[in-house]
Amino acid sequence: MSTAEGQQAKTDTFMADMKKRLEEASKLTPEELKFSYKGILYPTILCSEETFQAMEKMEAREDDVLIVTYPKCGTNWSLQILHEMILEVNKKEPTMIKGMLEFGKPEKYEYLSQQPSPRVLATHIPCEDISKSFFEKKTKVLLILRNPKDTAVSYYHFTNKNPTLPTYESWDLFYKDYITGNVIYGSYFDYTIQWEKHIDDGNILVLTFEDMKEDLSRELRKISDFYGLALTDEQIKLVQEKTTFSSMKEKSSNTHGDLANVFFRKGEVGDWKNLFTEEQSKEVDAQFEKYLAGTKLGNMINYEKYCTF
Ligand code: A3P
């Protein structure tokens, strides 16, 4: 089977599975669509306690690529980047799973343990709940941050368009849950600040959605250097062309099926200004000040530039 056929077969299986899950989801109330594990809300249709327990015990590898993000900060974008980069350099697909590391059945970790390196994995679960094995093995971690206001707006549209997640009748109702950390995957601020203590570990690269929008090839070079992939300028250019918003959106009905428009919406910086009230904006400013101002991660978010009306 060719690489393209292999990719298509995996996508078809994912689509069939997703269809089943969407049917299951349509029978649940918004309350039934979420459950709590270790104090954080998760989607019932995609996650389970058994899978979390199996994931806590999973064996990491030194050469795994672990992408960590709060939802809507650029997960699919960075997954595609790593996929294209590794394919370009190795001329062979990396091991990838559809969806997040925490989705699906517990048996998936057994399957993953048998797959060849490098394995490209992504998770939204809080840093403190990630299998200790990743830290013991010093697996290289790619953390993608996005400013908290655009993240909220992206999340609002996503939760309303994705049948596996609770829907909200208005932006204001979603915003209330977002600011109190009552959304799936919990508080943006708790999530982000937990990574601050790993910032000097030496095996973490932090990029931002906004910097990637500003100059993608510059950020791609950082990823290539960090993972020792040594892409040539020509290869960086090729990967860049394949991972712009427009090229990913164009191919999204093949990669994400019915959920294409759910995952690839606008891909812009500053959309928050269309929904936030002055009062909500000030409330997020206060949260930023309390949790992230003056921290290394907080500085990287470039809050003044991206979060001022
Ligand atoms: P918007 O809803 O603001 O458009 P995630 O993959 O973590 O769920 O993040 C989804 C967000 O990333 C969406 O933001 C989506 O449009 C945006 N996105 C996906 N691919 C992108 C790309 N190649 N360039 C810019 N933004 C992208």
Mean pLDDT, the chain, whole residue set: 95
| Residue 98 confidence class, pLDDT cut points 50, 70, 90 | confident
| Residue 3 confidence class, pLDDT cut points 50, 70, 90 | low
| Residue 149 confidence class, pLDDT cut points 50, 70, 90 | very high
Residue closest by Cα to atom 27 of ligand 1: 267
Q: Tell me, what's the pLDDT at 17?
A: 77
Residue 110 CA to ligand 1 centre (angstroms):
30
Residue closest by Cα to atom 9 of ligand 1: 72
Domain ranges in the chain are: 15-306
Helices (H), the chain: 3-26, 49-56, 75-90, 108-113, 132-136, 148-161, 171-179, 188-194, 209-214, 216-226, 233-242, 245-250, 252-256, 260-263, 278-291, 296-301, 303-307
Helix (H, G, I), strand (E, B) or coil at 96: strand
Least-confidence region, from 5-14, 93-102, 173-182, 287-296: 5-14
pLDDT by residue (tens digit) across 60-97?
999 999 999 999 999 999 999 999 999 999 999 999 99
Q: Tell me, what's the pLDDT at 7?
A: 62
Q: List residues near ligand 1 (CB under 6 A).
A: 69, 71-77, 154, 157, 243-245, 248, 263-267, 271
Cα 126 from chain centre: 12
198 has catalytic annotation: no
Residue 228 CA to ligand 1 centre (angstroms):
26
* DSSP states along 25-48: HHTS-TTTTEEEETTEEEETTT--
pLDDT by residue (tens digit) across 257-271?
888 999 999 999 999
pLDDT by residue (tens digit) across 191-230?
999 999 999 999 999 999 999 999 999 999 999 999 999 9
- In angstroms, rounded to a whole number, what is the distance separating the alpha carbons of residues 41 and 24? 19
Mean pLDDT value across residues 105-115: 97
How would CATH label the architecture of 15-306?
A: 3-Layer(aba) Sandwich (3.40)
Q: Tell me, what's the pLDDT at 259?
A: 87
pLDDT over threshold 70, residue 2: no
pTM of the model: 0.95
